[in-house]
Structure 1
Amino acid sequence: MSSRSKEKITSAIRKFFKGSSEKTEKTGETNNNNGAKANNIGGPSAASPARRLRRGVSPAPTPSSKPSGKHVTESTIRARRLMKEYKEIQKIQFRSQKPIFTVDLVNDNLYEWNARLHVIDPDSPLAEDMVELNIPHILLHLVFPENFPFAPPFMRVVEPRIEKGFVMEGGAICMELLTPRGWASAYTVEAVLMQFAASLVKGQGRVARKPKTAKEFSKRSAEEAFKSLVKTHEKYGWVTPALADG
């Protein structure tokens, strides 16, 4: 074989291996680019949690839906306090044949109570009205806020309709003890009910024979009346009996 022929064969072999090497490099680059596109753009399957886990990529964290620590603590304190008070009142009810008051949960809701005041000062005009009209008790509705016992419950008279006695529109009750400024976390439901009974008598409360107003007698009207009286008394002071007087 001539030297010229050997050079042609060597040159052809070099071109062959060079071409194969370039093709392999291009193929690798193409695969890498496609993989990157799949990671960044990919369809539903590429973005699925299972695909990410197979690739060793952790799924993006989701915002926590759990309530804050403060909210959990307040809810726990409220529940424990109300459960304790409710059980204690129930014990008193079962022990006494004629309890001064009784309570029960509204629709099994620990944070909403009905209270029935059965005993009023027998020498008061209000007690005489109740006997005359055959009214066995005064029905009260209490709602305990999320931050109870650090905030007072909202309490209103449901029935009968009472005039004076620090009872206003919608059954709202004018008592400083029931306001944020006059409330103390040490006050119990029993203390609130006994103070209310004293306020009724000292305020010369009477059962309303005929409503003096055509306004709706509801929780909403009671809340509006209570907000208004709180603003008034914060400006001019309070005249309701002190807790110690009850």
Structure 2
Amino acid sequence: MKELREIRLVADGFIGAELVGDNLYEWNVKLFQVDRDSALWGDMRDTATEFILVNLTFPETFPFSPPFMRVLSPTIEDGFVLDGGAICMELLTPQGWSSAYTVEALLRQFAVSLVKGQGRIHEMAAKNRKVFSRKEAEAAFRNLVKTHEKYGWVTPPSADG
């Protein structure tokens, strides 16, 4: 509840959050801003996309375990967004997570990774309205974690931000 209150107090218009139903363990978060110099911001402007809708599901062990996070809409290509809207970020794994992270910090990092990964709004998404499914996202996330456990996570050079 404290995290939700703090997000609602973020004054810069970066994000907005609401519970899914009355469930404290599931939130829909609207990400209103990404880097205004990015292609993704241009896509948002050109398609009249006001926000990127992200779903967070918190385990009972939060903040000691990471939430499961996925993009609901729009359909995003690249930007470390996978099938079902799963997100490829080490900090969403138990090995990369710290209980010191806040939801706001997590979402700010996600906004940066969308741009660094050259995320774009899928051109056909408006026509097809393919809906990402949770099951598809969970399967994609499990597969990416297995891959990274085997081969490691790539850390971008510090010159890249």
- Equivalent of 2:147, from 219, 232, 236? 232
Q: TM-score, normalised by structure 2?
A: 0.90
For 1:167 and 1:239, the matched residues in 2 are separated by: 16
Task: Name the structure with the higher strand share.
Answer: 2
The answer (yes or no) to whether the contact 1:199–1:241 under 8 Å persists in 2 is no
Q: Quick check: 2:40–2:119 contact (8 Å CA) kept in 1?
A: yes
Unaligned runs of 5+ in 2: none
- What's the counterpart of residue 154 of structure 1? 68
Is contact 1:145-1:152 (8 Å) kept?
A: yes
Matched pairs, number = 155
Conserved? CA contact 1:142–1:153, under 8 Å:
yes
How much is the aligned-residue C-alpha RMSD, in angstroms?
1.8
Query: Does 1 or 2 have the higher relative contact order (CA < 8 Å, sep 6+)?
Result: 2
State whether structure 2 residue 33 is matched by structure 1 residue 119. Answer: yes
Deviation at 1:210? 2.4
2:84 counterpart of 1:166: no
Following TM superposition, where does structure 1 have runs of at least 4 consecutive aligned residues deviating by more than 3 angstroms?
A: none
1:76-87 alignment runs, 5 A limit: 83-87=1-5
Asked if 1:204 corresponds to 2:118, the answer is yes
Residue deviations 1:112-162 (CA, integer Å, cap 9, x gap): 101000011011000000000000000000000111111100000000000
Structure 1 residue runs of 5 or longer lacking an equivalent are 1-82
Percent identity over paired residues: 62
> Where does residue 91 of structure 2 map in the other structure?
177
Is contact 2:16–2:29 with CA below 8 Å preserved after alignment?
yes
Q: Which amino acid aligns with 1:160?
A: P
From the superposition, tell whether residues 118 and 201 of structure 1 become closer, same or farther in structure 2 (CA, over 3 Å): same
The 3 A distance-change label for structure 1 pair 159 and 231 is: same
Answer with 1 or 2: which has the greater Rg: 1
Amino acid at match of 1:161: T
For residue 232 of structure 1, give the secondary structure of its aligned residue in structure 2.
helix
Q: Which residue of 2 aligns with 1:90?
A: 8
CA gap 1:240/1:136 in 2 versus in 1, 3 angstroms: farther
Residues 141-199 of structure 1 show CA distances to partners (whole Å, capped at 9, x for unaligned) of 00001111111000000000000000000000000000011111111101110000000
Q: Does 2:24 align with 1:110?
A: yes
Distance 2:5 2:35 in 1: 26
SS at match of 1:180: coil
C-alpha distance in 2 between matches for 1:116 and 1:216: 17
Instruction: Report the CA distance between 1:241 and its aligned residue.
Output: 5.4
Equivalent residue number for residue 220 of structure 1: 135
In the alignment, what sits opposite 1:14? none
Alignment of 1:132-151 (within 5 A): 132-151=46-65
Distance in 1 (alpha carbons) for counterparts of 2:26 and 2:155: 25
Change (3 A) 1:228 1:107: same
Q: Residues of 2 paired with 1:178 and 1:165: CA distance?
A: 15
Contact 2:84–2:136 (Cα < 8 Å) also in 1: yes
